[in-house]
Amino acid sequence: MNTDMNKASSELGLLSVMGATVRREMLLAFRNPGDVINPLMFFVIAVTLFPLSVGTDENFLSAIAPGVIWVTALLAVMLSMDSLFRADFEDGNLEQLLMSPQPLYFLLLAKIFSHWLVACLPIILLAPVLASMLFMSPEGMLPLVLSLLLGTPVLTLLGGIGMALTVGLSRSGLLLAVLILPLYVPVLVFGTGVVQAAINGTAFSGLLALLAALFALAVSLSPLAISAALKISIN
Partner 1 sequence: MWQWLYKLGSPKWFYTIGNRVLPWLWGVTGLLLVVGIIWGLGFSPPDYQMGDNYRIIYLHVPAAGLMKGSFYMMALCSAALLIWKIKMADIVAKAVAPIGAMATLLMLVSGSLWGIPTWGTWWIWDARLTSSLLQFFIFVGIIALRSAIESRDSAAKACAVLTLVGLVNIPIIEYSVEWWNTLHQGASDLSLRDSSANPPEIWIPAFFTGFGFIGLFFIGLILRSQNEILLRERRSQWVKDLLLTDNAKADTESGINTNA
Partner 2 sequence: MLEVHGLYCERDERILFKDLSFSIAPGKALQIQGSNGSGKTTLLRILCGLNSDFSGEILWQEKPVKQVRSEFCSDVFYLGHAPAINRTLSPRENLRWFSASQGKTGNIDISTALDELGLAGYDDVPCFMMSAGQQRRVSLARMKLTSARLWVMDEPFTALDKRGVSEVEQLLSDFVNAGGSLILTTHHPLQIACDIDVINLDSRVQESAP
Cα-trace Rg, the chain: 19
**For partner 1, which is the closer residue by CB, 64 or 225?**
225
CB 123, CB 44: distance < 8 Å: no
Q: Determine which residue in the list 80, 130, 166, 223 makes contact with partner 1, applying CB under 8 A.
A: 166
**Residue 98 is a binding residue for partner 1 (CB under 8 A):** no
Question: Segment near partner 2 (CB under 8 A), from 23-31, 44-52, 157-165, 219-227?
Answer: 23-31
CA distance 145 to 152: 10
Q: Determine which residue in the list 17, 131, 165, 208 makes contact with partner 1, applying CB under 8 A.
A: 165
Smallest distance from partner 2 to CB 92, Å: 3
CA distance 88 to 136: 40
The CA–CA distances, whole Å, from 52 to 57, 74, 131, 201 equal: 11, 20, 15, 29
Which of partner 1, partner 2, none interacts with 181 (beta carbon under 5 to 8 A by kind)?
partner 1
| Interacting residues with partner 2 between 100 and 129 (CB under 8 A) | 100-103
Smallest distance from partner 1 to CB 136, Å: 18
**Residue 228 is a binding residue for partner 2 (CB under 8 A):** no
**Residue 13 is a binding residue for partner 2 (CB under 8 A):** yes
Smallest distance from partner 2 to CB 24, Å: 5
Encoded one letter per residue, x for contact with partner 1 by CB under 8 A and - for no contact, window 170-209 reads: --x--x--xxxxxx-xx--xx--x--x-------------
Nearest to 35 by CA among 124, 127, 119: 119
Smallest distance from partner 2 to CB 79, Å: 21
Residues that bind partner 1 (CB under 8 A): 161, 165-166, 168-169, 172, 175, 178-183, 185-186, 189-190, 193, 196, 214, 217, 221-222, 225, 228-229, 232-233, 235
Give residues in contact with partner 2 (CB under 8 A): 9-10, 12-13, 16-17, 19-21, 23-24, 27-28, 31-32, 87-88, 90-93, 95-96, 98-103, 231, 234-235
